[in-house]
Structure 1
């Protein structure tokens, strides 16, 4: 009976396999005429700027730790709860921090409102540090984004939402976190959904080509959504399965009857 199980399994694998070429699943291919290995200067590196509704972690230090603690009401409370995603692989963490209001301000104790919208984290750090000189001796400030998240959906091994601990994430890194594109996913037409200044953009990148690195969608923005479409092989697999399923059931039933005799 065990031998028959292996036979049936082998038939299923052969029956469901579709012709997927190496070219369809190979990343970063160069043009056929390009045999060089020249280094390229990175010119499109993305540096995020603060937007309304961003959540910022602002940490203040000075020569007087006790006085500094007054400006750190969220110290030790940035991570208040941890939940598991549906697939059980990636923790989703609830965080608290300074929310950038609709006017682009954050509200600091004593200092009051500080306009940070449109600034990089480094520029916001310098601005807040300057404001705090009226209250602290030689203050130092660290500013970071707490809500830099991207979602990866579709034909990947582990679709999920991922929290980014730094200020930079590429599409290749996000797909790596999601366990890579499955053999059935379309690498030549990956969609990135992005919201910018109240508008929603739909970009496409071809993971098979080196031109990917020049795309404005190579570096991800906060709250980007990556969607990998199923290819023809996946659709053919599903159609073929439901087409031959009755035949498989019938064959298994016949084998079971023969073995029992």
Structure 2
């Protein structure tokens, strides 16, 4: 009878360390309960996304290039000097190896500053709105000018129970939480996907909120999209200590228990 209790305790600890599928599958509804009933090649339901276009902030770094249909040499040289992208010869193969790319920093007042064009307010604008504002100013000097504006330092940091803690820089400013997790290498099996913490900078303040990645309705949340400088912290499940420390040392624990039972048996 004495041998039964240690074995029962070990069994309870092992099964207590198991992680069910309902704690691992992203954006689930009731699909896990009725897998065999789900029709294939059929739209089950749809969600309306709460899309929020990224708005430029002070200290953002922008890549701004200009183009025009005009063939005048002076105008072309003028625009080339304004562009943040300059070619240094050679032919790059998609990685930009044939040229150097420099950005222009948005100052603390939310402006970009050109020697000829002057200061242009871009903070609070989307990239497309900033493009229109820059084109309006540049068209006073060069007709038919087209500006192309892109973010160069859109980044987020992901920490905790992930397959690789990292600060990720992306060229895509409309980045969902799922895409951000994918770019960082994904979450570990012991990550608590139902209580993911996000720190979001808003001016001189930091907002703190939690999101539940297990619920399908999360795609409709205003927090579905990652913002500049977001810090995503993924906590562990309560099974983590068992899986990491107990199961990893199960052989040692079993040996100790067996040795203890052996000593008890001999002492009778």
The TM-score range, normalised by the shorter chain, is 0.7 to 0.9
8 Å CA contact 1:193–1:203 kept in 2: the answer is yes
Task: Find the aligned partners of 2:14 and 2:215 in 1 and give their Cα distance.
Answer: 31
Q: TM-score, normalised by structure 1?
A: 0.75
Deviations, residues 132-151 of structure 1 (Å, cap 9, x unaligned): 11211211101111110011
Deviations, residues 91-130 of structure 1 (Å, cap 9, x unaligned): xxx9741111111111013111111111111111111111
Task: Find the aligned partners of 1:73 and 1:214 in 2 and give their Cα distance.
Answer: 37
Task: Find the aligned partners of 1:243 and 1:28 in 2 and give their Cα distance.
Answer: 34
CA RMSD between the two structures: 3.0
8 Å CA contact 1:57–1:98 kept in 2: the answer is yes
User: SS at 1:142's partner residue?
Assistant: strand
Give 1:52's match in structure 2, choosing from 51, 58, 65.
58
Give 2:117's match in structure 1, choosing from 95, 99, 111.
111
8 Å CA contact 1:55–1:99 kept in 2: the answer is yes
Q: For structure 1, list consecutive stretches of 5 or more residues without a partner in the other structure.
A: 1-13, 78-93, 252-261
8 Å CA contact 1:17–1:237 kept in 2: the answer is no
Residue 41 of structure 1: how far off its partner (Å)? 2.3
Give 1:125's match in structure 2, choosing from 119, 131, 135.
131
1:205 aligned residue: 211
Task: Find the aligned partners of 1:243 and 1:69 in 2 and give their Cα distance.
Answer: 64
Residue 74 of structure 1: how far off its partner (Å)? 4.5
User: SS at 2:133's partner residue?
Assistant: helix
Say if 2:219 is the partner of 1:220. no
Deviations, residues 57-111 of structure 1 (Å, cap 9, x unaligned): 111112243231121254359xxxxxxxxxxxxxxxx974111111111101311
User: How many corresponding residue pairs?
Assistant: 221
Give 2:190's match in structure 1, choosing from 168, 174, 184.
184
2:20 aligned residue: 21
Structure 1 runs (4+) greater than 3 angstroms displaced: 14-17, 31-36, 241-251
Task: Find the aligned partners of 2:28 and 2:59 in 1 and give their Cα distance.
Answer: 39
Task: Find the aligned partners of 2:14 and 2:30 in 1 and give their Cα distance.
Answer: 34
8 Å CA contact 1:70–1:109 kept in 2: the answer is no
Q: TM-score, normalised by structure 2?
A: 0.73
Residue 216 of structure 1: how far off its partner (Å)? 2.1
For 1:1-261, list aligned pairs within 5 A. Answer: 18-31=17-30, 37-42=44-49, 44-62=50-68, 63=70, 64-76=75-87, 96-240=102-246, 247=253
